[in-house]
Every structure is written in structure tokens, then in C-alpha cells.
């Protein structure tokens, strides 16, 4: 109860720091190992980097399902605890564990049956297809760590144990970073596995993180218990989880559809353009890590105080998170504009990749401040029971805005304008999210009256 009480009583600035900074650190480490993974793969060959870049949409679906269900836990558990509904909070946490088992089994089948057709549908370059199958099959078949890890980590955050969540994520990330070069290049007693080594290091890191998170759930928090008797789902618990999770799953999953479509547009120019886009997605993900950390910290703050009826703390939490996010993204935009060549050097860029990538990074990075607005407002929509707003914003951001704009800009036959689609889409989405937030606040004002 002490962990939950601080969500309603601790000063907002201090609480946001306590809740968010550990998550920022853990997300930074997670994003770092994603980048390190690509850096080492790029040392194999540009085709290997392209193969891993094409794998991103499927990996993103795994992330979408795991994170989306975790967001359901992160929003519902503290809300119910704030309302004094202990049993309901515990049921949600346990049903989410059951769902993680189901997801893992589904992706075993995906990894065994669908990875080959997925690659052959996109390219006829034999080496890219072969390397992609090697990499993505392992990621899919051994995806259990990703699902259980996200579930237990979000439960730790939902009950106020952000440092414990950071420890679990950081442990898995450090494991991945250490074992990436050992398994890719065959250092010491380890065999040289190439892209298979990159995939193996990734899934083992996820499993380690899940084990650590589960251990911490059992030992460091007492708000909800994980036990087999509460895991069988019922209609109400599934409806509650997915009312929050589905918009989040679709939101993250839309990134897979967007990436797939953009890859098709860029492959018409060159495979190098696709590799550059893969680099941007990794760097963009890394850049948004502090915002993701803020989101994970502010969501239980908003959900708990919304459940407790303290709307003043809700609004202060969102405003402060947005201010911090915008400041950080402006700083990162300046760094991207100043040092694109340094970033590309990390990925063993060829002369052609330097030429394409320098223009791409300097244009796409202008989207970061707009993205911060979208992400902060989207998390507040979910915590306040307006998940459909999150879904609408991200449907427009990832598909309805991004893909048509990129396609239209590609019709001139020049690659350079296509990168502006990222900026235009994020700016339009930020305007939409701001409008929906104003509507939500008007609705709350009418309800109070």
C-alpha cells in the first residue's frame, strides 16, 4: 500500500522523477542493445543489415502484443488499486500471464511456417532471404521471453516498483550486448553464428530479463499475487484488458504495417535505402526512449489519481511530462542535425549509404519534437479511458498520413523528398492529438458540472 499511496500523495515533480528516471535508463539500455545488434550485423555485410531491417515489422508485432498487453496491466492495476479493488487488480495481472503463454505458442507456429514466405514476398536477393530466415525464425520461435518480460516488467511499474523493472530490463539488455559479438563472430569458446548469433543473443537476453522480472514480482511487491488459480481468464477480465491493450497493440503494430509499406517504396530506389530506413528506425526508437520512460512513469500516476478522483494531479502530471519530453527531443534533434555522419559510421556505412543516410537523418530527425507530443498525449488517453483516441491518432500517424505521403513524394523519381514524409506525418499527428486532448478535457469539464 505504501507504493500505491505515493502515487496519490508525493509531489508531482518528485514522483515523475522517481517513476520515470529508472524507466528511462532501462529503456535506453534496451534501445542501446538494439542499436548494438545492428552495428555488429552491419559488420557482416550490408545485405545482412538489410535482412535484419526487413525483419523489423515482424519483431515489432511481437513487441506490439507484449507491450500492448503490458499497457493494459499498467493502466488497470493501479486504477483498481486506487479504487480499493484489490481482487480485480490481481485478476488482471494473472490473466495477463496466461495470455503471454498463448502468444508464445502462436509465434512458434509463425516462426516455423511463415518466415520464408515473408522474405520471398519482399525481395529476390537470395542472400538477403537466406540471412533473414536465419535471423527471424529464431526471434519468433523463442519469443516467450519477450512476452513474459513485458508482462512482469509492466506489473512492477504498475505497483510503483520502477527500480525493480529497470533492473530486470537492464540485466537482459546487458546480457544481449555482451553476447552479441561473442555469438556473431565466434569469440573464445563460442561458435561463429553470424546473424543466427545476433538472434540468439536477443532471445536469450529477453529470457534473462523475464526471469529476473518474475523473481522481483514475487519478492519486491505485495500489492498483487501471481498464482495459477487466478490465471484462467473470464469474459470480464479479457474485455477490460483488451479495451486498453488492443488500441496499444494496434498502435505499435501499425509501425509494422508502416515499415513494410515504406520498405516497398524504398526498395524501388535501392536496397541501401531500405537499410538506411532500418537505421533510422533504430535511431528513432533510441531517441524516443526517454519519452517511453516518461510514459511508463506517468501512466500509473495518471491512472491511479484518475481512479481516486484527483484530476488536478492528473493534469499536472501530463503537463510536466510533456514539457520534459519536448525539451529532450529538441536537444536530440540538434544533435542529429550536427552529427549524421558520426551516426552512420557506427553502422559501417559505405560511400553510397553515407550519401543517402546523411540526407535521410537530417530530414527525419525534425519529426522528433512532434512525436513527443503524440506519445505523451497518447499515453494519457489510455490512462484516462480514451484508448480509442490513441488508436485514431496512431492509425493516422503510421498509415493514413505516412504511407500515402511517402508514396506521393516518391512519384517524382527522387529519393530525397521521401524522407520528409516522416516529418509531415508526425506534425499532422501532433495537431490531431492536441485537438483530441482538448475535446477530452471539455468532456471531463461537462461531467464535473
pLDDT of residue 114: 92
Is 343 a residue whose pLDDT tops 60? yes
- Confirm whether pTM is higher than 0.75: no
Say how many residues make up the chain.
449
Domain encompassing residue 98? 2-448
Region for residue 385 given its phi and psi (left: phi exceeds 0; alpha: psi -120 to 50; beta: otherwise): left
- Give the dihedral sign, CA 34/36/40/46: positive
Domains: count for the chain? 1
pLDDT confidence of residue 5 = 61
User: Helices 271-287 and 289-307, interaxial angle, to 10°?
Assistant: 50
What pLDDT, on a 0 to 100 scale, did the predictor assign at position 285?
A: 83
* 324's grid cell: 520534459
Amino acid 436: pLDDT = 94
| Dist. CA 322–CA 362, nearest whole Å | 24
Could you tell me which residue, 431 or 160, shows the higher pLDDT? 431
Integer Cα distance of 125 and 131 in angstroms: 10
Cell numbers at 156, concatenated: 512492477
Residue 384: the pLDDT is: 83
pLDDT value at residue 197: 94
Q: What is the mean pLDDT of residues 293-299?
A: 83
C-alpha 187/C-alpha 29 separation (Å) is 23
Query: Tens digit of pLDDT for each residue in 162-183?
Result: 778 778 888 888 898 899 999 9
Report d(CA 50, CA 302) in Å as an integer: 40
Please give the full DSSP string across 20-89, using - where no structure is assigned. Answer: HHHHHHHHHHHHHHHHHHHHHHHHH-HHHHHHHHHHHHHHHHHHHHHHHHHHHHHHHHHHHHHTT-HHHH
Cβ neighbours of residue 271 closer than 8 Å, sequence gap 6 or more: 46, 47, 50, 123, 125, 128
Amino acid at each position: 500500500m505504501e507504493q500505491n499511496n505515493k502515487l496519490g500523495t508525493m509531489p508531482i515533480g518528485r514522483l515523475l522523477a522517481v517513476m520515470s528516471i529508472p524507466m528511462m535508463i532501462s529503456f535506453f539500455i534496451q534501445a542501446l542493445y538494439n542499436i548494438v545488434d545492428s552495428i555488429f550485423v552491419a559488420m557482416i555485410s550490408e545485405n545482412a543489415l538489410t535482412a535484419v531491417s526487413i525483419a523489423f515489422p515482424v519483431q515489432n508485432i511481437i513487441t506490439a502484443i507484449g507491450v500492448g498487453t503490458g499497457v493494459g496491466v499498467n493502466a488497470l492495476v493501479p486504477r483498481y488499486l486506487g479504487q480499493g479493488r484489490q481482487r480485480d487488480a490481481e485478476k488482471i495481472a494473472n490473466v495477463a500471464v496466461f495470455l503471454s503463454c498463448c502468444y508464445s505458442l502462436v509465434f512458434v507456429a509463425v516462426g516455423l511456417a511463415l518466415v520464408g514466405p515473408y522474405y520471398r514476398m519482399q525481395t529476390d536477393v537470395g542472400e538477403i532471404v537466406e540471412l533473414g530466415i536465419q535471423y527471424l525464425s529464431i526471434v519468433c520461435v523463442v519469443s516467450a521471453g519477450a512476452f513474459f518480460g513485458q508482462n512482469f516488467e509492466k506489473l512492477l511499474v504498475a505497483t510503483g516498483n520502477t527500480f525493480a523493472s529497470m533492473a530486470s530490463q537492464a540485466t537482459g539488455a546487458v546480457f544481449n550486448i555482451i553476447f552479441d559479438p561473442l555469438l556473431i563472430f565466434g569469440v573464445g569458446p563460442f561458435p561463429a553464428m553470424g546473424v543466427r548469433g545476433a538472434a540468439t543473443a536477443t532471445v536469450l537476453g529477453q529470457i534473462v530479463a523475464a526471469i529476473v522480472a518474475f523473481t522481483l514480482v514475487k519478492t519486491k511487491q505485495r500489492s498483487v499475487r501471481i498464482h495459477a488459480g487466478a490465471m484462467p481468464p473470464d469474459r470480464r477480465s479479457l474485455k477490460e484488458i483488451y479495451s486498453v491493450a488492443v488500441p496499444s497493440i494496434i498502435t505499435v503494430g501499425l509501425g509494422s504495417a508502416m515499415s513494410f509499406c515504406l520498405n516497398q517504396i524504398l526498395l524501388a530506389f535501392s536496397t541501401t535505402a531500405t537499410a538506411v530506413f532500418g537505421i533510422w528506425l533504430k535511431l528513432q526508437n533510441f531517441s524516443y526512449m526517454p519519452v517511453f520512460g516518461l510514459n511508463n512513469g506517468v501512466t500509473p500516476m495518471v491512472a491511479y489519481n484518475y481512479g481516486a478522483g484527483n484530476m488536478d494531479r492528473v493534469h499536472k502530471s501530463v503537463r510536466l511530462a510533456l514539457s520534459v519530453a519536448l525539451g529532450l527531443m529538441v536537444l536530440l534533434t540538434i544533435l542529429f542535425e550536427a552529427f549524421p555522419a558520426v551516426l552512420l559510421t557506427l553502422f559501417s556505412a559505405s560511400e553510397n549509404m553515407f550519401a543517402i543516410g546523411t540526407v535521410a537523418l537530417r530530414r527525419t530527425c525534425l519529426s522528433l519534437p512532434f512525436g513527443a507530443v503524440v506519445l505523451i498525449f497518447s499515453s494519457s488517453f489510455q490512462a484516462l479511458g480514451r484508448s480509442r483516441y490513441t488508436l485514431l491518432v496512431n492509425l493516422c500517424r503510421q498509415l493514413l498520413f505516412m504511407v500515402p505521403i511517402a508514396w506521393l513524394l516518391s512519384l517524382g523519381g527522387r529519393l530525397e523528398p521521401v524522407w520528409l514524409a516522416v516529418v509531415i506525418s508526425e506534425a499532422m499527428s501532433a495537431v490531431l492529438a492536441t485537438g483530441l486532448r482538448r475535446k477530452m478535457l471539455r468532456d471531463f469539464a461537462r461531467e464535473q458540472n
